[in-house]
Amino acid sequence: MQCFKNFAISLVVVALLVFPLTTSSHKQESPRTPPVKFLKAQKPIPNRYIVVLEDDVVPDNVPLDVRRARVAAIANGHAQTHGGKVDFIYETALKGYAIELPNEAAARAISNSPQVRWVEEDSIGEWAQAPASPQPSPPWGLDSLDSGIPAPSPDPTTGLTSGSYGFNANGTGVTAYVLDSGINTQHTQFMTPFVSRASIAANCFEFVNCVSGTQTAFFNQQVCASGLPSPSNNDCYGHGTHVAGTIGGNTYGVAKNVNLRSVKVGSTFGPVSSAVIAGVNWMTADHQASPSTPVVANMSIEVATGAVESTVQNAINQGITVVAAAGNGNTNANSVSPANVADALTVGAVDWNGVRSPVSNWGPLVDLFAPGVQIASAASGGGICPVGTFCLLSGTSHAAPHVTGAVAQYLQGRPGQVNCNVNPIQGGSPFSGNRSACPDRVSRFIIATARMNVLSGVSSTPLPSANRYLATNALPGPTNPIENNQFFVWSQYIDFLNREPDSVGFSNWVSNLNSCGGTWPCINNERIHAVRGMIESTEFRTGKPALSNPSSTNEYNTEYVRQLYLCLLHREPDSGGWATYVSELNSTGDYDHTVHGFINGSEYRTRFGQH
Ligand SMILES: [Ca+2]
Ligand SMILES: [Ca+2]
């Protein structure tokens, strides 16, 4: 039973930084209809408007020229009444038209017509659409992620480089909870044409009017509340807006189409442990209410209570991948929470030369490092980012959201999960469903696909940290994560040797797999070689007398097959399957064929994701 281990939870405790917020509508607005009948643009073209008509002004099943004539008649009627000049007519993908009008009052008057759904100002460019991949001149952190190598020096004023950021996914359909000081949801970084991708989900501390400074405590409310103040007036400190911008801002963000949900757990004077617990509690219930939505939580927070720790662990058990800032004390990350929660993804900060930030916490609980010095992201217009639309901030708070964005990319297209403590990746068979969005699979994927040994200053501390740098170039579509070469090799080390890979061995197996260029059967052969490399290694055979003398004897083959069951499927062999494999091996000596059967079977693949 060397390989079959029960999932052991080792918890640690304490927390980090925080901020407060306001909140609560659980419902997202429909993306197809703006909340008002007249919509202003960021950069309007004077006197030009787009009029969107009700769909039923003309049926879809009549000929194009009939539809066109009908819409044109309505448009001309409006133009005549309000002194306008009709431009484009839209009759198919949209029922409506573009028009030049003498003033805004005329446009508002048209918007009141019962045939009109809404009127919006025509505008140039910037409907705040996120750039396509590759994004030119990105923040240095994004520039570095697509290669996993710290990027050239950024411009000291803008934080941008002359490089590019390529990405294969943008977090569509994924929710990122931001437990922080709130989000200015009206910032252009979060805007799509009709709605913001950021919403105020829960206010777990108090109502704060950033403009007036009025703070209304509601400790007596017992639950996280909704409400106040206006969407642009709920992040008094600016921390949460900046963090959210790095996760999913249009130009500053890693995952440019993720939904951002603000869970406010503190204010300008810091996070409050009881509010952090309330926020994690609220978030967990919110996820359970919509379990099929894949979710990740960013906690750029440090506090220090055991209750926070166990609350966060329970959120992870319920399928929420938690990304925690390592903390900014230049000390062991085990001293703060939630960085000390082993099952969280704990993130330290490095600069563009790959050097650990002098403030970043360190130690074995730091899973990986990410960009955390001079990070350009959205300014809330107050607190620590009072001026302009962006500002540069440093610290592990700004490293963690890069990882959160990468997780959102990984989660895109995967079904959300709850009860992830029931079928842990290192637990026992049987496995069922598609568990690829469970935090243990997610964390292993992010860690295994990080770039090794490109950082400095991470081993010179009293306790060394893993020399791993976040990389997004390997993030796949929603395939089974075991298809990923690094994830595959990582999993063999854990399953057979019960340890993380050493960098030399890891790179060796991975580069063999990569050299196949994804071509079958080369890739299959290299996977088989990797598994055989593990089970036939001295390290594995030590202490297993039946395997001590590699030879195709019945005794050796019997134990060989048993170990494949234990290590790959996490169960004892059933007698039928066991006998079949052994008798085949006894007669053919074809170990490749035996290993092929295990790693391509649905029982093995279901441990990690879908068949
Ligand atoms: Ca790049
Ligand atoms: Ca961890």
**Mean local confidence (pLDDT), 92-119:** 91
In CATH, 483-611 is 1.10.3130.20 = yes
User: Taking the CB of residue 305, how many other CB atoms lie within 10 A of it?
Assistant: 16
| In the chain, ranges of CATH 3.30.70.80 domains | 38-123
Reply yes or no on whether 78 is catalytic. Answer: no
Q: Are 392 and 492 in contact (CB under 8 A)?
A: no
How far apart CA 138 and CA 166 sit, in angstroms, is 10
**pLDDT of the residue at 341:** 97
Residues 324, 328, 333: CA angle, nearest 5 degrees:
55
Instruction: Give the ligand at the shortest distance from the Cα of 140.
Output: 1
Q: What is the pLDDT of residues 593-606, one digit of tens each?
A: 999 999 999 999 99
Ligand 1 centroid, distance to 255 Cα (angstroms): 15
Using alpha carbons, select from 477, 429, 444, 441 the residue that is nearest to residue 598: 429
**What is the chain's mean pLDDT, rounded?**
88
Using alpha carbons, select from 276, 264, 113, 103 the residue that is nearest to residue 198: 264
Instruction: Give the ligand at the shortest distance from the Cα of 447.
Output: 2
Identify which has the larger pLDDT, 544 or 43: 544
Ligand 2 centroid, distance to 510 Cα (angstroms): 23
Least confident of 38-47, 154-163, 446-455: 38-47
Q: Are 343 and 443 in contact (CB under 8 A)?
A: yes
Residue 18 has pLDDT above 50, yes or no: no
Catalytic choice (122, 143, 146, 180): 180
Identify which has the larger pLDDT, 112 or 219: 112
Q: Which residues contact 421 (CB under 8 A, 6 or more apart)?
A: 7, 317
Range picked from 42-51, 110-119, 149-158, 242-251 for highest mean pLDDT: 242-251
Ligand 2 centroid, distance to 365 Cα (angstroms): 6
Alpha-helical regions (H) of 205-298: 239-248, 273-289
Global pTM reads: 0.81
Ligand 2 centroid, distance to 366 Cα (angstroms): 7
**Pairing state between β 116-123 and 44-53:** antiparallel
How far apart CA 32 and CA 12 sit, in angstroms, is 45
Instruction: Give the ligand at the shortest distance from the Cα of 343.
Output: 2
At 37, the pLDDT band (50, 70, 90 cuts) reads confident
| In the chain, ranges of CATH 1.10.3130.20 domains | 483-611
Reply yes or no on whether 440 is catalytic. Answer: no
Tokens representing residue 316 in the block: 């992870």
**Mean local confidence (pLDDT), 352-372:** 97
Residue 7 has pLDDT above 90, yes or no: no
Q: What is the pLDDT of residues 493-544, one digit of tens each?
A: 999 999 999 999 999 999 999 999 889 999 999 999 999 999 999 999 999 9
* SS3 labels along 117-130: EEEEEEECCCCCCC
How far apart CA 118 and CA 110 sit, in angstroms, is 9
- Which residues partner with 121 through β-bridges? 49
Q: Are 39 and 63 in contact (CB under 8 A)?
A: no
Choose which CATH entry (3.40.50.12780, 3.30.930.10, 3.40.50.10420, 3.30.70.80) describes domain 38-123. Answer: 3.30.70.80
Ligand 2 centroid, distance to 589 Cα (angstroms): 41
Q: What is the pLDDT of residues 228-278, one digit of tens each?
A: 544 556 788 899 999 999 999 999 999 999 999 999 988 776 787 888 998
Residue 30 has pLDDT above 60, yes or no: no
Assigned superfamily of 137-411: Peptidase S8/S53 domain (3.40.50.200)
Ligand 1 centroid, distance to 137 Cα (angstroms): 9
At 487, the pLDDT band (50, 70, 90 cuts) reads very high
Least confident of 100-109, 128-137, 264-273, 502-511: 264-273
Residue 10 has pLDDT above 50, yes or no: no
**pLDDT of the residue at 27:** 32
**pLDDT of the residue at 5:** 46
Ligand 1 centroid, distance to 141 Cα (angstroms): 9
Catalytic choice (24, 199, 235, 239): 239
**pLDDT of the residue at 572:** 97
**pLDDT of the residue at 309:** 93
Ligand 1 centroid, distance to 251 Cα (angstroms): 14
**Mean local confidence (pLDDT), 321-343:** 96
Ligand 1 centroid, distance to 514 Cα (angstroms): 20
Q: How many residues does the chain have?
A: 611
Residue 206 has pLDDT above 70, yes or no: no
How far apart CA 390 and CA 351 sit, in angstroms, is 19
Catalytic choice (397, 436, 443, 465): 397
Percent of the chain with pLDDT over 70: 88
Region of 195 (left: φ > 0; alpha: ψ -120 to 50; beta: rest) is beta
At 279, the pLDDT band (50, 70, 90 cuts) reads very high
Q: Which residues contact 127 (CB under 8 A, 6 or more apart)?
A: 41, 42, 191, 192, 193
Q: What is the pLDDT of residues 309-320, one digit of tens each?
A: 999 999 999 999
At 213, the pLDDT band (50, 70, 90 cuts) reads low
- Which residues partner with 393 through β-bridges? 375
Instruction: Give the ligand at the shortest distance from the Cα of 11.
Output: 2
Ligand 2 centroid, distance to 141 Cα (angstroms): 22
Tokens representing residue 582 in the block: 């052994």
* SS3 labels along 274-321: HHHHHHHHHHHHHHHHCCCCCEEEEECCCECCHHHHHHHHHHHHCCCE
Residue 15 has pLDDT above 70, yes or no: no
Percent of the chain with pLDDT over 90: 70
**Mean local confidence (pLDDT), 381-388:** 87
**pLDDT of the residue at 383:** 86
In which element (H, E) is residue 418 found? none
Q: Are 296 and 404 in contact (CB under 8 A)?
A: yes
**pLDDT of the residue at 92:** 84
Reply yes or no on whether 398 is catalytic. Answer: no
Instruction: Give the ligand at the shortest distance from the Cα of 312.
Output: 2
| In the chain, ranges of CATH 3.40.50.200 domains | 137-411
Instruction: Give the ligand at the shortest distance from the Cα of 313.
Output: 2
The DSSP symbol for 355 reads B
Q: Are 198 and 183 in contact (CB under 8 A)?
A: yes
**pLDDT of the residue at 595:** 98
At 466, the pLDDT band (50, 70, 90 cuts) reads very high
Ligand 2 centroid, distance to 436 Cα (angstroms): 17
